[in-house]
């Protein structure tokens, strides 16, 4: 990598970010295509978010990825929102366009492509989404367009209710097709019985708390597709126990790669090399010996 004063800088901001594979994935793509870009990660505490975004703007940083817990709060510091980001109220990608910060969301693209690759069509399915934060907003808005029934469960019920109402109102769909409830054993037991897909859009199970799970093992069954957007570790406790229950599983790496590819294309205007990004991520995972290299992902 030959850096110069002309090198365009892209970065991840979040708290924490030490676990992130995004620098590996994005830098591999830049290098493969010979683009004069570099990608780094910054740990930004919630109280410092405004300073960080305005500092990035002042420094001329070309693009940002935004991860937990900043995806909603970051909007207040931007100059403009893309249509989907405005509709959803969540941003995970920022482009610095001649000094104007434009916010986008690519999480929905990531989850839809991951489901598609796994052979899981969300059309006319009952889908449960765990969580009501920034990632959940993008995922829920995207899937509500296809699902027969969408159920949003969150520890704070008011947030789940607000998200469900936002979706029904914004998309003009029947309120009874988007429901909400508390993320607890009782609601999970009731809703999972006839569910087709469940997506963990919370941070439960992420390292260093990788022995935690949002769903008790006895509630999982073979009729489910269980999708965990956590990718550190790649095989979470939720996914391990889902496999034991005979459920189909999808981990967070595929979503990460596809949403990262969409960000890459926003920043560069160049088609992302999906396979290069995937192989870079898997190589890093193998090197750290965290999990066995999965064979099911093709981007």
d(CA 270, CA 264): 8
Query: Residue 161 is encoded by which pair of tokens?
Result: 């209710």
Establish if 264 belongs to a structural domain: yes
96 and 199 share one domain: no
Establish if 295 belongs to a structural domain: no
229 and 173 share one domain: yes
157 and 92 share one domain: no
Higher pLDDT, 16 or 113: 16
What pLDDT shows up at residue 289?
56
Please give the helix or strand (H or E) that residue 76 lies within, else none. Answer: none
**Catalytic pick among 71, 125, 216, 283:** 71
Establish if 119 belongs to a structural domain: yes
CATH code of residue 35: 3.40.50.10860
pTM summary value: 0.80
Establish if 297 belongs to a structural domain: no
Would you tell me the crossing angle of helices 134-144 and 107-117 to the nearest 10 degrees? 60
- Residue 5, pLDDT > 70, answer yes
52 and 92 share one domain: yes
153 and 205 share one domain: yes
Out of 10-24, 106-120, 285-299, the most confident range is 10-24
In this predicted model, what pLDDT tens digit does every residue of 10-26 receive, in sequence order? 999 999 999 889 999 99
d(CA 113, CA 183): 26
Active site residue 71: yes
92 and 167 share one domain: no
66 and 132 share one domain: no
- Count structural domains, the chain: 2
Higher pLDDT, 151 or 87: 151
β-strand pairing of 63-66 with 93-97: antiparallel
Task: Show the domain range for 115.
Answer: 108-250
279 and 166 share one domain: no
Establish if 168 belongs to a structural domain: yes
Query: Residue 198 is encoded by which pair of tokens?
Result: 């469940």
Establish if 42 belongs to a structural domain: yes
Walk across the sheet containing 100-104 and list its strands. Answer: 37-43, 8-14, 63-66, 93-97, 100-104, 80-81
CATH code of residue 133: 3.40.50.720
206 and 126 share one domain: yes
Establish if 2 belongs to a structural domain: no
First to last CA, the chain: 24
119 and 235 share one domain: yes
129 and 74 share one domain: no
In this predicted model, what pLDDT tens digit does every residue of 215-262 receive, in sequence order? 999 999 999 999 999 988 889 999 999 999 999 999 999 899 989 999
Task: State the CB neighbour count (10 A cutoff) for residue 21.
Answer: 21
Would you tell me the crossing angle of helices 134-144 and 157-171 to the nearest 10 degrees? 40
73 and 48 share one domain: yes
């Amino acid at each position: 990598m030959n850096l110069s004063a002309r090198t365009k800088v892209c970065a991840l901001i979040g708290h924490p970010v030490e676990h992130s594979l995004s620098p590996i994935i994005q830098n591999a793509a830049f290098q493969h295509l010979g683009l004069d870009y570099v990608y780094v990660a910054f740990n930004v505490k919630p109280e410092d978010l405004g300073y960080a975004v305005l500092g990035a703007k002042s420094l001329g940083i070309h693009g940002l990825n935004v991860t937990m817990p900043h995806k909603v709060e970051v909007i207040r510091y931007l100059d403009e929102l893309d249509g989907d980001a405005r509709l959803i109220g969540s941003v995970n990608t920022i482009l610095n366009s001649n000094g104007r910060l434009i916010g986008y969301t690519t999480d929905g693209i990531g989850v839809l492509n991951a489901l598609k690759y796994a052979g899981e069509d969300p059309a006319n399915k009952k889908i449960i989404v765990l969580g009501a934060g920034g990632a959940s907003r993008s995922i829920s808005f995207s899937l509500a367009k296809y699902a027969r029934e969408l159920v949003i469960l969150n520890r704070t019920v008011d947030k789940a209710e607000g998200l469900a109402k936002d979706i029904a109102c914004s998309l003009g769909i029947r309120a009874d097709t988007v429901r909400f409830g508390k993320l607890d054993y009782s609601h999970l037991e009731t809703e999972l019985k006839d569910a087709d897909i469940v997506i963990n859009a919370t941070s439960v199970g992420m390292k260093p708390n990788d022995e935690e799970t949002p769903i008790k093992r006895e509630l999982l069954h073979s009729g489910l597709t269980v999708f965990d957007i956590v990718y550190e570790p790649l095989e979470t406790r939720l996914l391990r126990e889902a496999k034991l229950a005979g459920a189909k599983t999808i981990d967070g790496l595929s979503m990460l790669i596809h949403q990262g590819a969409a960000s890459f294309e926003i920043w560069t205007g160049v088609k992302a090399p999906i396979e290069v990004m995937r192989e870079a991520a898997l190589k890093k995972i193998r090197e750290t010996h965290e999990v066995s290299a999965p064979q099911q992902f093709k981007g």
